[in-house]
Chains A and B, each alone.
Chain A
């Protein structure tokens, strides 16, 4: 059996859940396909996919064993462009965080490129595959409308204090709290271009649910040092790494 992450706490279990491709992620909200396309901002809804090369069927590809073994993803077959979606996860009990996103993306999806930074995480894929993946990422446990931001640029805010309604700071104010409905609405696309109609992302999860779903160790939630098992494995890795790297002349 694959071993994804050590630890006995709920945080460790959540990390294992995300990373394990056989675990079925809970669907928490419904976003239309059109909504996802609008959020991404790479093409207008209903517009044809632009391509960078002819479909693979029409190209005479050289004989190659790897090409025979690996089935190309839909976007690659059609010759789509490579596009991206980028998420920012607040340090205040966001469901996912950048390193975990990368680990889990690479376990769950084929034909993607994931880039990790301290506060944000980008995933690149062929356009139609990206739309399918984005829909899954926004609709499931990966996402909380208030603590996770969809930000192609101007990402600052993951470590700042939250607003009183629990929304993470965003200098471009893409995801805003609607005081009348209590729901978060996306009024701009991921790079900050105004949308004609807001995309409704739903109500933010409450603090208790977030704490049970988070993958972030925090002293005011579940502290890393309290997860004996995870700390032990970390120590073991540290020791073996140091010994393995030690080279007396």
Chain B
């Protein structure tokens, strides 16, 4: 099953980084998808005091953040009790999202290959972990970062 964290405000890069680091450190978290409005394109003339676009570090791995976080989907491993994981995520969010948030249990990341996936990848079989990790218009390597867990 998945969890959805819906912050009551759109998150900037600093808070996204903190939140993702905390969530990724939890046991039972298999995959995380962040979704939201896209950050404006890179502009060399932009004054850094206004900009939000930067490379964030999650679990020691660098990710080029392309969006502002509006929603977070978290895939929870079946070996763990989802309610317990939800409680620990609730604790993290209470600290990092002072303006409020909602957490729901449900199915938020799709699990089956769609027609668009077939057109995009052909008849090649995609690993289950990559299904539903990106939208159809984007390249997988631009959007997905894979962490090696021990």
Contacts and interface: CB of A to CB of B under 8 A. Distances in A.
Interface of A: 161-166, 169, 173, 176-180, 185, 187
Interface in B15-56: 15, 37, 40, 49-50
A165 B12 contact: yes
Contact of A178 (B7, B10, B49): B49
Contacts of B40: 173
A161 B9 contact: yes
B49 A169 contact: no
* SS of B interface (majority): loop
Contacts of B8: 161
A239 B10 CA distance: 43
Contact of B50 (A162, A164, A178): A178
Nearest to A220: B100
B10 A162 contact: yes
Contacts of A164: 7, 9-12, 15, 99
Contacts of A185: 50
Nearest to A194: B45
Interface of B: 7-12, 15, 37, 40, 49-50, 68, 70, 99
30 contacts: A161-B8, A161-B9, A161-B10, A161-B70, A162-B9, A162-B10, A163-B9, A163-B10, A163-B12, A163-B68, A164-B7, A164-B9, A164-B10, A164-B12, A164-B15, A164-B99, A165-B12, A166-B9, A169-B10, A169-B37, A173-B40, A173-B50, A176-B50, A177-B50, A178-B49, A178-B50, A179-B49, A180-B49, A185-B50, A187-B50
A224 B110 CA distance: 40
Q: Which of A161, A164, A165 has the most CB of B within 10 A?
A: A164
Nearest to A187: B50
A163 B50 CA distance: 13
Contacts of B99: 164
- 8 smallest beta-carbon distances between A and B, as pairs: A176-B50, A164-B9, A180-B49, A163-B10, A162-B9, A164-B12, A161-B10, A178-B49
Q: Which of B9, B15, B68, B70 has the most CB of A within 10 A?
A: B9
A164 B70 CA distance: 10
Contacts of A179: 49-50
Q: Which of A161, A163, A169 has the most CB of B within 10 A?
A: A161
A187 B99 CA distance: 27
A193 to B, nearest CB: 15
Contacts of B50: 173, 176-179, 185, 187
A180 B11 CA distance: 18
Contacts of A187: 50
A73 B137 CA distance: 56
A48 B123 CA distance: 69
A169 B10 CA distance: 10
A166 B11 CA distance: 10
Contacts of A177: 50
Given A169-B37, A173-B40, A179-B49, 8 more contacts: A161-B8, A161-B70, A163-B10, A163-B68, A164-B15, A165-B12, A177-B50, A178-B50
Nearest to A180: B49
Contacts of A173: 40, 50
Contacts of A165: 12
Contacts of B49: 178-180
B108 to A, nearest CB: 18
Nearest to B11: A164
B20 to A, nearest CB: 15
